[in-house]
């Protein structure tokens, strides 16, 4: 699958940008409200610190008045004003300290909550979702979105909120004194904020979203190539991969430069508008003074107030762009939270308790992807009695693996139902269905953890004696005990430090320990040498005892001794019976496949 099918470029549609903005802000506010005490500390601190800044110009104006009048009447309150300014300054410091401490803890809590929540959701997304999304992109969406939430919290609560507060309070104070000045400040502020919002949302944001989508693609391409490094090496394709990445990085650079330049242009325009507003306000108070409607203290108040207001507003455009960028960076993360898991447990679903292991597929219909595509299975019926050993056979792509995925409810069927011991697996919890089925896959996946942890993955409470017993039954104990660190040996990423046969036997030991009544084995021995194959085969024979077993067989010699063989062709069961019964049909697909493999074996 190419990266383009996995991550399409973002739309430049402003309506979509607005929806994203609302969705992300709603998400952020809901997260902040989960921690009401920290939120109250932060907002309380912000309120105190900002009010002290708003009141300071008032006292400064009074101070100038006092100094001016003192000359005339010999009395003044200058010392009171200085004490007031000191008290305001101290309150401002304490308020800021409270808000910074509050936001530090609030952001950390919210980030923790988002990271763990996103991981929990991604783990529970359906196999379909995982098949359609790059692991690298997902990791990047989560980490980038989590850090963007930190920036969003800082910018909104410590910068934009105080700015709004300063504007509202100074407009009110000014308006009560001189209506015209209040109106002027209100109109200027509305125009300034509107300009910032329009520039940011309509001009900067679309470019920044596009740059982000290329950033995600860059991460995905890196992860894809690094994950498949063995294939790259084997094909001597390093240069091809270099060129592929260079093409993506080139597009990313162009898109990113465009987005950054738009940010700079927008900030410059906003700075110009702020300058005009400042000059307008100062000119207005000077005119009032010239007409005798303002004294020296008033002029000092307006001058100081404009410095405070402009100090707050100076970076508002940049802050709105930061909010916009954070919103874009959180967009994909928020969608992860909004997206349904794909395969869901019904509300209050009970756990499945398998006692027999009787499997039935009743009129099952299923197809991958959208409903419109031709289904793989239509009206599939199978009855697999408890304790039987069944081989699933058929050409590549005929649906053998899909059948076992449906049994684990990794996908939901479109029609019919699948039952285990008479219980529809869609009515019980997915976890209980999956833990009732032990899987030995063709390519076992191991965690980069110790051998002990890998074997006990399905039953973390297993004792060391049980783990060692499972390893013995799986013919794995000998090689493990020869390792210097025994069961504590770390296996390397995806188990790369073990051979194919050793990985298989660890997977078999895992299945022994899980003690599930149903066993699904994807024929595992095809890539092993004969000694490894013999060890794996013996272990599998032991594992099959007393269980209902489905074996996906690629080499038909594996299924000869099984109770029953089901042959698939294009999602249909075309033959069903014992080896002897199927071999007795010379026109049958099984007979044909068997003859083909026997011929290959002879010619090899
Ligand atoms: N996640 C998926 N999304 C879309 N199509 C899929 C997916 N997985 C499998 N298929 C398609 O479904 C069909 C059945 O695949 P399945 O893996 O069940 O075949 P199989 O019989 O196990 O083949 P093989 O013997 O090669 O493993 C194939 O055409 C395959 O391309």
Alpha-carbon distance values, 355 to 379, 419, 437, 549 (Å): 27, 13, 12, 14
Neighbouring residues of 91: CB distance < 8 A, sequence distance ≥ 6: 48, 49, 52
For the stretch 458-468, pLDDT in tens is 888 899 999 99
- Residue 239 pLDDT: 93
Cβ of 572 closer than 6 Å to ligand 1, yes or no, is no
Q: Are 551 and 562 in contact (CB under 8 A)?
A: yes
Determine the atom of ligand 1 nearest the C-alpha atom of 552.
22
Q: Whose CA is nearest to atom 31 of ligand 1?
A: 397
CB 324 within 8 A of CB 200: yes
CA of 403 to the centre of ligand 1 (A): 10
> How far does the centroid of ligand 1 lie from the alpha carbon of residue 186, in Å?
65
By DSSP bridging, strand 415-420 and strand 359-366 are: antiparallel
Please work out, in degrees rounded to the nearest 5, the angle formed at the alpha carbon of residue 374 by the alpha carbons of 370 and 380: 105
Contact assessment for residue 491 and residue 497, using Cβ atoms and an 8 Å cutoff: yes
Pick the CATH number of 22-338 from 1.20.1560.10, 1.20.272.10, 1.10.3720.10, 3.90.1150.10: 1.20.1560.10
Task: Give the strand pairing for 518-522 and 572-577.
Answer: unpaired
Q: Is 395's C-beta closer than 6 angstroms to any atom of ligand 1? A: no
Concatenated DSSP letters for 468-495? Answer: HHHHHHTT-HHHHHHSTTGGG-B--GGG
Instruction: Please answer whether residues 521 and 550 qualify as being in contact, where contact means their C-beta atoms are separated by less than 8 angstroms.
Output: yes
- Give me the pLDDT at residue 70, please: 63
CA 570 to ligand 1 center in whole angstroms = 10
CA distance 479 to 477: 6
Distance (Å, whole) CA 206 – CA 223: 26
How many Å apart are CA 568 and CA 403, to the nearest integer?
10
Q: Is 92 in the pocket of ligand 1 (CB under 6 A)?
A: no
Domain residue limits, the chain:
22-338
Q: Is the CB of 396 under 6 A from ligand 1?
A: yes
Token digits of residue 600: 């290959």
52 lines ligand 1 (CB under 6 A): no
> Exposed (0-12), middle (13-18) or buried (19+): which is 572, by Cβ within 10 Å?
middle
Q: DSSP character for 366?
A: E
Q: Which of 167, 101, 183, 194 is nearest to 311 (CA)?
A: 167
Q: Helices marked H in 339-412 — which ranges?
A: 400-407
**Bridge partners (DSSP) listed for residue 391:** 551, 565
Q: Kindly give the distance from the C-alpha atom of residue 319 to the centroid of ligand 1, in angstroms, as a whole number.
A: 50
Model confidence pLDDT, tens digit, residues 21-38: 899 999 999 999 999 999
Contact 365, 415 (CB under 8 A): yes
pLDDT at residue 528, as a whole number: 60
Q: Whole-angstrom Cα distance, residue 507 to residue 539? A: 11
- Tell me, using a 6 A CB cutoff, whether residue 5 lines ligand 1: no
pTM: 0.70
In angstroms, the CA 98 to CA 111 distance is: 20
Question: Distance (Å, rounded) from C-alpha 106 to C-alpha 46?
Answer: 14
Residue 397 Cβ inside 6 Å of ligand 1? The answer reads yes
Q: Is the CB of 131 under 6 A from ligand 1?
A: yes
> What whole-number distance in Å separates Cα of residue 466 and Cα of residue 477?
12
ipTM score: 0.95
* Three-state DSSP state, 276: helix
Check if 119 has its Cβ closer than 6 Å to any atom of ligand 1: no
Check if 537 has its Cβ closer than 6 Å to any atom of ligand 1.
no
Cα 545 to Cα 548: distance, rounded to the nearest angstrom: 9
Return the pLDDT at 325: 82
Token pair 């869901």: residue: 344
Element (H, E) at 551: strand 548-552
The residues of the chain scoring below 70 in pLDDT are 1-13, 70-76, 317, 370-372, 493-496, 524-532, 598-604
Which of 313-316's residues contact partners 24+ apart within 8 Å by CB, and which partners? 313/163, 313/167, 313/189, 313/192, 313/274, 314/271, 314/274, 315/159, 316/160, 316/163, 316/192, 316/193, 316/196, 316/270
For residue 62, give both structure tokens. Answer: 């009074």
Q: Give residue 602's pLDDT.
A: 43
Nearest to 437 by CA among 361, 494, 359: 359
Strand partners, 344: none
Cα–Cα distance measured from residue 57 to residue 297, given in angstroms and rounded to the nearest whole number: 10
The residue whose C-alpha atom lies closest to atom 18 belonging to ligand 1 is 399
Q: Is the CB of 407 under 6 A from ligand 1?
A: no
Name the closest-CA residue to atom 30, ligand 1.
Answer: 397
Ligand 1 contact via 401 beta carbon (within 6 Å): yes
**CA atoms of 99 and 45, how far apart (whole Å):** 4
């Amino acid at each position: 699958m190419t990266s383009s099918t996995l991550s399409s470029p973002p739309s430049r549609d402003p309506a979509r940008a607005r929806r994203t903005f609302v969705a992300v802000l709603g998400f952020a506010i809901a997260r902040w409200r989960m921690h009401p005490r920290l939120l109250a500390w932060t907002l309380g601190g912000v309120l105190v610190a900002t009010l002290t800044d708003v009141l300071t110009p008032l006292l400064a104006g009074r101070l100038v008045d006092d100094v001016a009048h003192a000359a005339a009447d010999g009395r003044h309150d200058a010392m009171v004003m200085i004490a007031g300014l000191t008290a305001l300054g101290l309150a401002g410091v304490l308020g800021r300290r409270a808000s910074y401490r509050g936001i530090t803890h609030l952001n950390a809590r919210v980030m923790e909550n988002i990271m763990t929540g996103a991981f929990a959701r991604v783990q529970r997304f359906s196999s379909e979702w995982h098949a359609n999304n790059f692991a690298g992109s997902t990791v990047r969406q989560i980490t980038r979105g989590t850090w963007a939430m930190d920036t969003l919290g800082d910018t909104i609560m410590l910068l934009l909120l105080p700015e709004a507060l300063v504007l509202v309070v100074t407009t009110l104070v000014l308006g009560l004194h001189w209506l015209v000045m209040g109106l002027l400040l209100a109109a200027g502020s509305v125009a300034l904020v509107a300009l910032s919002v329009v520039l940011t949302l309509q001009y900067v944001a679309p470019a920044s979203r596009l740059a982000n989508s290329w950033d995600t693609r860059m991460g995905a391409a890196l992860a894809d190539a690094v994950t498949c490094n063995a294939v790259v090496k084997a094909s001597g394709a390093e240069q091809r991969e270099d060129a592929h990445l260079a093409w993506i990085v080139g597009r990313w650079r162009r898109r990113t430069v465009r987005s950054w330049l738009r940010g700079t242009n927008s900030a410059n325009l906003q700075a110009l508008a702020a300058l005009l507003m400042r000059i307008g306000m100062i000119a207005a108070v000077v005119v009032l003074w010239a007409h005798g409607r303002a004294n020296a203290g008033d002029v000092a108040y307006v001058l100081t107030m404009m410095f405070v207001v402009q100090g707050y507003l100076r970076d508002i455009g940049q802050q709105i762009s930061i909010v916009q960028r954070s919103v874009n960076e959180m967009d994909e993360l928020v969608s992860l939270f909004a997206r349904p898991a794909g395969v869901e447990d019904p509300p209050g679903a009970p756990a499945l308790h398998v006692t027999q292991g009787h499997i039935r597929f009743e009129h099952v219909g299923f197809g991958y992807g959208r409903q419109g595509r031709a289904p793989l299975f239509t009206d599939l019926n199978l009855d697999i009695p408890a304790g039987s050993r069944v081989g699933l056979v058929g050409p590549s792509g005929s649906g053998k693996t899909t059948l076992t995925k449906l049994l684990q409810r990794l996908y939901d069927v479109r029609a019919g139902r699948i039952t285990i011991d008479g219980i529809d697996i869609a009515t019980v919890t997915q976890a209980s269905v999956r833990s009732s089925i032990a899987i030995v896959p063709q390519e076992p996946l191991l965690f980069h953890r110790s051998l002990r942890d890998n074997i006990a993955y399905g039953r973390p409470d297993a004792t060391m004696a049980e783990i060692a017993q499972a390893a013995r039954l799986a013919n794995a104990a000998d090689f493990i005990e020869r390792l210097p660190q025994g069961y504590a040996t770390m296996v390397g990423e995806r188990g790369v430090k073990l051979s194919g046969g050793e990985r298989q036997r660890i997977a078999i030991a895992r299945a022994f320990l899980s003690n599930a009544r149903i066993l699904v084995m994807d024929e595992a021995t095809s890539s092993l040498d004969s000694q490894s194959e013999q060890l794996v085969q013996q272990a599998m024979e032991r594992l099959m005892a007393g269980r209902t077993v489905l074996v996906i067989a690629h080499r038909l010699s594996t299924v000869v001794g099984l109770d029953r063989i089901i042959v698939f062709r294009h999602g249909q069961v075309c033959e069903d019976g014992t080896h002897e019964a199927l071999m007795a049909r010379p026109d049958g697909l099984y007979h044909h496949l068997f003859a083909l493999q026997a011929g290959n074996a002879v010619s090899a």
